[in-house]
Amino acid sequence: MIEMVKDHIFGYAYDQFGLFGPVAEYYGTVEAQARGTLHCHMLIWTARCPASPEEFEKSLQSPEFVQRLMSWLSTTIEQDFFGFGETDMVVPSVTPKTNPRLFTD
């Protein structure tokens, strides 16, 4: 199963673009949950990603980069509560707490 995901979803075996674009490298490890079912954690390095955190921060200054990043994220990330539509969900109103490490005066 992992080989199929790697080859077909990531496009790694065929030197083609997968879901995340061209993949330079990947690393994965399989582990068992308490009930014995297996699952995999993977890291994927894409060929076109910024080379360092500083380069990524610099890229975020470009409105074009931010637009492309947000567009890509909106097409690759999906959340769903099975059987419930947006109109069926009630989100309680909460007041966010500030974290002094994140916010400064």
pLDDT tens series, the chain, 105 aa: 777 777 777 777 766 677 777 888 888 888 998 888 888 888 888 887 777 889 889 988 999 988 888 887 887 776 666 666 666 656 566 555 554 454 444
Same domain as 69, residue 42: no
| Full DSSP string of 15-75 | TS-BTTBSEEEEEEEEEE-TTS-EEEEEEEEETTS-SSHHHHHHHTT-HHHHHHHHHHHHH
Same domain as 9, residue 25: yes
- Say if 102 falls within a structural domain: no
Same domain as 41, residue 11: yes
Same domain as 4, residue 41: yes
Q: Domain of 38?
A: 1-49
Same domain as 21, residue 57: no
Same domain as 75, residue 43: no
The pLDDT value given to residue 102: 43
Same domain as 74, residue 32: no
Query: Closest Cα partner for 21 from 63, 76, 78, 79?
Result: 76
The pLDDT value given to residue 25: 83
- Say if 95 falls within a structural domain: no
